[in-house]
Structure 1
Amino acid sequence: MLMSSKLDLLNRWYKDVWLDGDLDAIDVYFVPDTDAQGIVPDLSMGPTEFRDLVSVMRQMVVALDIRIKHSVENGNWLCALVEVTARTRARGAPIHVFSQVMVRFDGDKMVEAYNSFDFMTLFEQMGQVPPNSLPLMMTGVHLAEA
């Protein structure tokens, strides 16, 4: 059986799981003990946690689009710069954020991943934190606690 390229697998992951919302497809791309780090601090995520994450995020946005802008492959690893655009479901406001991911593959399965997602910009654009929160906090300003 001919294996798909790592870049093709990652593109299909985003299409099938994130864009199409096929939560069962998570098992196509992950092994049961896949270890994904970096999305939520101090939380390792596997297939079950990704089902929850994808469901919650897809409820918050519409017109979701995910594109891999750049990628680098080295052995079993793929590193990608990912561009995410969407609109907020609540207000229709535009969303435009970037993330980076490093994924280790074993054959056609993702077994390990390290994610860095610009949640600050996402939540600013969704109206969940004040605009320019990051620059404000870098000056020492404390945002009000929820």
Structure 2
Amino acid sequence: MQLTPKEMLNRWLQELWVHGNNSILDELLADEAGAVGLIPDIAMKKAEFAVLAEAMRALCSDIQVQITHAVEAGDWVAVRIRVDAVGIHESRPVQATGQIMARAVQGKFHELISQFDFLTLFECLGQMPENTLPICLTGQQLTWTSPALKA
């Protein structure tokens, strides 16, 4: 029995992001498929997804991904996700959200359009100051204070 696009996307999220199973990429992503939106100016392919998932798992443990909202229309599915995790370095709780639109044909994704709230993720991890967005909306600039980051 073939999975619906929503079921496929949930399987993708659980296997790749929660369990670190990169083989799901071959199972659910068409060879020519690319994803846009997740990282600006980069159309991600299978290899980039594996690297991104590995980087996330290096920053976070106990990753849980939940689809909180979903709309399906034919081959397309649009979901809102919530990610809960624990930051590796200081055991900080992490919670961030994202959205994914995906088109599935014959059991494989052919198009993925994603957005993820990396700003909140990095705030939760302590890599960005709390309230970075509201501070930036005032017109203020963030300045790096670490000598290692100064040019």
What is the TM-score normalised by the length of structure 1?
A: 0.96
CA-atom RMSD in angstroms: 0.9
Q: Displacement of 1:118 after TM fit? A: 0.4
Q: Displacement of 1:80 after TM fit? A: 0.2
Match of 2:135 in 1: 136
2:48 counterpart letter in structure 1: E
Secondary structure, aligned partner of 2:84: strand
Consecutive unaligned residues of structure 2, counting only runs of 5 or more, are none
Consecutive unaligned residues of structure 1, counting only runs of 5 or more, are none
Structure-1 separation of matches of 2:110 and 2:72? 15
Match of 2:68 in 1: 69
Q: Displacement of 1:25 after TM fit? A: 1.6
| Post-superposition CA distance 1:97-130 (Å, at most 9, x none) | 1100000111211111111100110000111111
1:24-103 alignment runs, 5 A limit: 24-103=23-102
Q: Displacement of 1:49 after TM fit? A: 0.5
Structure-2 separation of matches of 1:24 and 1:3? 18
Q: Is the CA contact (8 Å cut-off) linking 2:86 and 2:92 kept in structure 1? A: yes
Q: Is the CA contact (8 Å cut-off) linking 2:102 and 2:113 kept in structure 1? A: yes
Structure-1 separation of matches of 2:20 and 2:122? 21
Question: Alignment length, in residue pairs?
Answer: 145
Secondary structure, aligned partner of 1:59: helix
Identity %: 32
Q: Displacement of 1:34 after TM fit? A: 1.1
Q: Displacement of 1:20 after TM fit? A: 0.9
Structure-2 separation of matches of 1:34 and 1:23? 16
Instruction: Identify the structure with the greater strand proportion.
Output: 1
Q: Is the CA contact (8 Å cut-off) linking 2:5 and 2:103 kept in structure 1? A: no
Q: Which runs of 4+ in 1 moved over 6 A?
A: none
Q: Is the CA contact (8 Å cut-off) linking 2:75 and 2:105 kept in structure 1? A: yes
| Post-superposition CA distance 1:2-28 (Å, at most 9, x none) | 311111111111111111111122111
Structure-2 separation of matches of 1:107 and 1:143? 47
Structure-2 separation of matches of 1:125 and 1:114? 24
Match of 1:107 in 2: 106
Structure-2 separation of matches of 1:112 and 1:7? 14
Q: Is the CA contact (8 Å cut-off) linking 2:66 and 2:82 kept in structure 1? A: yes
